[in-house]
Amino acid sequence: MKITLSDELLNKISAEVLIFPMFEEETKNLPESLKGILGREQLDLGNDFSGKLYETFLIPQLPKLLLVGAGKKSDFNARLERNVAGTAARKIIKSKLKKIAFDARIYTKPSLIIEGIGLAEFDPGIYKTKEKTSKIDDLIVLGKISASEIKKTQNLVEVTNWARSIVLEPANKITPKAMVEEAKKLARTYKFSIEVYDEKEAAKKGMGAFVGIAQGSHQPSYMLALKYIYKKEALTLGVVGKGITFDSGGISIKPSDRMHEMKMDMAGAATAIAFMKLVGELKPKINVVVVTPLTENLPGGGALKPGDVVKALNGKTIEVLNTDAEGRVVLADGLVLSQKLGATKIIDLATLTGAVIVALGSEATAALGNKEDFLESVVDSGEEVGERIWTLPIYPEHKELLRSDVADVANIPPSRGAGVIAGAVFLQEFIEKNNSWVHLDIAGTAWLDNEKPYLAKGPTGIGVRTLVNLLDKLS
Ligand code: BES
Ligand code: ZN
Ligand code: ZN
């Protein structure tokens, strides 16, 4: 998509359609700029358009005008700025228009127009051989964005959509090995150091938790670490992503009706690796280490059985009472490895629990952690870029959720309830006391079951923008 900036009036612009976002308050008394464009004072919108959020109305005179509802003026924020642009883009794509102008008059951050359009353009029909979706070729923004901001935003969108595309890929395409290949490409391009442990090597190192889950699948599994070194003595941020390329549940097998969706169980790893791509571009003044345990969770003959016990890299023993709670088991070793590699502030991203979907649906990621200040900076980072994050507590009493009769911890709690917290309190067992850690349960936000006016259904690339924003706070 070619982007140009302009402060010219529409009649001097060669676009097929002008997108004009409009607040509810403006439909009766048209904004001056719109009057100028229309060449008249009033527009009879009747019941067709009231400015409600994400409402659209196409006025087919030439050049066409697309009104997009921006809701109430006082509610408008970064998240909605992005989504309103995305809503317009999805309408435009459906109408097969290619050259658009976008009036940025009400935007406090016009680069969100580029972000919203870029994310809205993502098409999940990657294996359709006939229906090709239309793309927007030219975008003229009537407003100001610096050249560096344009470049940074385009890059962010591209990388986020890349993460979405690998989450979307079926499990027979994106295997653990395929993920490793992507990481190797990154390491070559950006001169990251890379460590890849296959099952044998991981077992030798003591990653018994990861290896336990991996042994149910015939696909080779890998523990992967990518490192960007700024300076030896600088802070090291660790990003650990759950990379289950398919989660059948293992021996505790899932019901079949929606099992296919579990190809997305590597969304945390996809986000972590995508983030590393941006680290390579942005070259922050901190060290970053990304760790992803990459394996399928299948019920092969070698698979863990409920009741089996494994030992993690920090020496703790885990009783695997339910093989479908595999994410926390592989992350145990991932978290320990990230700290061995120097991380003192750690974020994990994991499609960990169905319970988070019950609690928050697809509107917010759950965050839990061991240090208030780090938790707060992660939540703020998300809020600022329109990725909502909601904090849940970990109380001392929640340790009870880990009780095992035979091992240090069990991977599922003895009673029902607090499913999201149970996941987090388990992971906390693998964090050293002095380190700061935030767990993000993205099971509800990494994948949309239903499309939004501004986003296709399927993978969202959640977390990439939060992490990039956090870099600024930590560097
Ligand atoms: N990958 C799933 C969680 C999940 C569910 C992700 C729905 C995306 C959408 C995870 O491995 C899992 O199966 N968790 C179990 C844990 C339970 C056995 C304690 C769950 O949530 O049911
Ligand atoms: Zn599972
Ligand atoms: Zn899973």
Task: Please state, in angstroms and rounded to a whole number, the distance separating the CA atoms of residues 352 and 266.
Answer: 10
SS3 state at 411? coil
| pLDDT confidence of residue 85 | 98
| pLDDT confidence of residue 62 | 64
> Among residues 449, 472, 318, which one has the least CA distance to residue 380?
472
Task: Please state, in angstroms and rounded to a whole number, the distance separating the CA atoms of residues 430 and 314.
Answer: 7
SS3 state at 206? coil
Q: Which atom of ligand 1 lies nearest, measured to the CA of 353? A: 21
> Please, which residues have CB within 8 angstroms of residue 25's CB and are 6 or more apart in sequence?
51, 72, 73
Residues taking part in catalysis: 254, 328
Residue nearest to atom 22 of ligand 1 (CA): 354
Residue nearest to atom 5 of ligand 1 (CA): 354
Query: pLDDT averaged over consecutive 10-residue blocks of the chain (475 residues)?
Result: 86 87 93 84 85 94 88 96 98 93 96 98 92 90 96 97 98 98 98 98 98 98 98 98 98 97 98 98 98 99 98 98 98 99 98 98 98 98 96 98 98 95 98 98 98 98 98 93
CB 283, CB 233: distance < 8 Å: no
Task: Please state, in angstroms and rounded to a whole number, the distance separating the CA atoms of residues 436 and 372.
Answer: 9
Residue nearest to atom 7 of ligand 1 (CA): 354
Q: Which atom of ligand 1 lies nearest, measured to the CA of 264? A: 8
Q: Which CATH superfamily is domain 155-474 in?
A: Zn peptidases (3.40.630.10)
54: left (phi over 0), alpha (psi -120 to 50) or beta: left
Residue nearest to atom 3 of ligand 1 (CA): 353
Ligand 1 proximity of 306 Cβ (cutoff 6 Å): no
Ligand 1 proximity of 322 Cβ (cutoff 6 Å): yes
Check whether domain 2-143 has CATH 1.20.1260.10, yes or no: no
Q: For residue 242, report the distance from its CA to the centre of ligand 3, in Å.
A: 8
CA terminus-to-terminus distance, the chain: 31
> Among residues 299, 280, 297, 296, which one has the least CA distance to residue 288?
280
Task: Please state, in angstroms and rounded to a whole number, the distance separating the CA atoms of residues 443 and 365.
Answer: 8
Q: Which atom of ligand 1 lies nearest, measured to the CA of 422? A: 19
- Which among 252, 298, 324, 439 is the best mutation to test ligand 1's pocket, defined by most ligand atoms within 8 Å of the CB? 324
Ligand 1 proximity of 326 Cβ (cutoff 6 Å): yes
CB under 5 Å of ion ligand 2: residues: 247, 324, 326
Ligand nearest to the CA of 422: 1
CB 122, CB 115: distance < 8 Å: no
| pLDDT confidence of residue 41 | 83
pTM of the complete model beyond 0.95 = yes
User: How is the chain split into domains, by residue range?
Assistant: 2-143, 155-474
395: left (phi over 0), alpha (psi -120 to 50) or beta: beta
- Which among 352, 358, 421, 457 is the best mutation to test ligand 1's pocket, defined by most ligand atoms within 8 Å of the CB? 352
Q: For residue 435, report the distance from its CA to the centre of ligand 2, in Å.
A: 27
DSSP one-letter code for 232: T
> Among residues 274, 305, 272, which one has the least CA distance to residue 290?
272
Task: Please state, in angstroms and rounded to a whole number, the distance separating the CA atoms of residues 99 and 139.
Answer: 6
Strands (E) located in 99-242: 99-103, 138-142, 193-198, 222-228, 236-241
2-143 and 155-474 share one fold? no
Q: Which atom of ligand 1 lies nearest, measured to the CA of 254? A: 13
- What are the two backbone dihedrals, phi and then psi, of residue 418, each rounded to the nearest 5 degrees? 55, 40
> Among residues 360, 425, 432, 426, which one has the least CA distance to residue 395?
425
Task: Please state, in angstroms and rounded to a whole number, the distance separating the CA atoms of residues 153 and 60.
Answer: 31
